Amino acid sequence: MLSRAQQILLKRAQREAGLSDDDYRDALETIAACRSSKDSRLTDEHLDKLLAYFEAIYFRAVDSGVLHPACKPGAVFRQRGYWAAKNTRLETSRDRYSKSHQGNVIAALEARLAAFGCNSAYCAAIRANVCKGRTDGYALRLYQVALERTLKSKARRQESAPNPF
């Protein structure tokens, strides 16, 4: 289901592309098999496809002289091809956000392991053992879990070690 901000973005795109409500709902039905932006079946992938579709409609209308190019800084369609290029079939904006967030979490976990004296080769060995050559989101999640498990183990060992002083 789309967030409220995504629903607003979709309605702004409709308005900028000059689509009537019937045309907007027909596009929703064609792309997402629903007639409302509040429908729970509407996903991020559908949003990306709808924005790319509305963008194409908008720039076709601009080229034919029906609409004027956007001049507001907050316009949805400021740059030609932005939505079509930004969200390809292989990777959506949500995927990029998740990878970025996960990358930050993994970097923090690796830094915490470095505090225990584990170098980058140690982390690389964990990654090679867990990921087995895969680089997709699932492999990164497995690597993150392995780092968390290793940190717990190191922390337990440090707590249970006798204090020499």
The mean pLDDT value for 123-151 works out to 88
pLDDT value, residue 116: 87
Predicted local confidence at residue 87, as pLDDT = 63
pLDDT tens-place string over residues 34-92: 999 998 888 888 888 899 999 999 999 999 999 888 888 888 888 888 888 776 666 66
Q: Which residues contact 24 (CB under 8 A, 6 or more apart)?
A: 14
Domain boundaries, the chain: 4-90, 95-160
How much is the pLDDT for 25?
94
Percent of all residues in the chain with a pLDDT value above 90, rounded to a whole number: 47
Mean of all residue pLDDT scores within the chain: 87
